Structure 1
């Protein structure tokens, strides 16, 4: 499995849900509505109910890629917003 694209839509409210992501696998299959949630111990990635990774290794890989993309999107906003 190769994750070929990740799109992040940041949410700018005070809720625990911080972003919604879409992820493309092997340029052939897309999963929408992946949630980035602020949990008690940090950010958590929640897959939509219809799409679940089979192994913990795949689940970890997906979470790492989504969170890295989310952090990158936040950093891009920090550079473009004058304080």
Structure 2
């Protein structure tokens, strides 16, 4: 499965939450509401989730570490390209 489009909506620069992301996979499936968060260790991609019994549960998530890395790398690269265009 390949990422065919990434749409980024930046947030305020003074927060840890840097952007909301929509990812299209194989021009067939769109995942809305992915969050890009900046931590002390780098960027974290947070999948869409719901709160249930004081816990957050992912609605959708990568099935393996390889796809999670691919997804994270593509999102972070696209975000950095957008930020560096200024």
For this structure pair, what is the TM-score category when the shorter chain's length is used for normalisation? 0.7 to 0.9
What is the rounded CA distance, in whole Å, between the counterparts of 1:68 and 1:30 in structure 2? 19
Task: Compare relative contact order (CA 8 Å, sep 6+) and give the higher one, 1 or 2.
Answer: 1
Residue equivalent to 1:57: 66
Summarize the alignment of residues 29-44 of structure 1 with structure 2, pairs less than 5 Å apart.
Answer: 29-44=29-44
How many residues were matched structurally? 77
Q: Larger % of helix: which?
A: 1
**Where do 5+ consecutive residues of structure 2 fail to align?**
49-57
TM-score by length of 2: 0.84
Q: Larger % of strand: which?
A: 2
1:41-82 Cα shifts (integer Å, max 9, x gaps): 111111112111010000000000000110011012x1xxxx
Q: Which runs of 4+ in 1 moved over 6 A?
A: none
What is the CA RMSD across the aligned residues, in angstroms?
Answer: 0.9
TM-score by length of 1: 0.87
**Where do 5+ consecutive residues of structure 1 fail to align?**
79-83
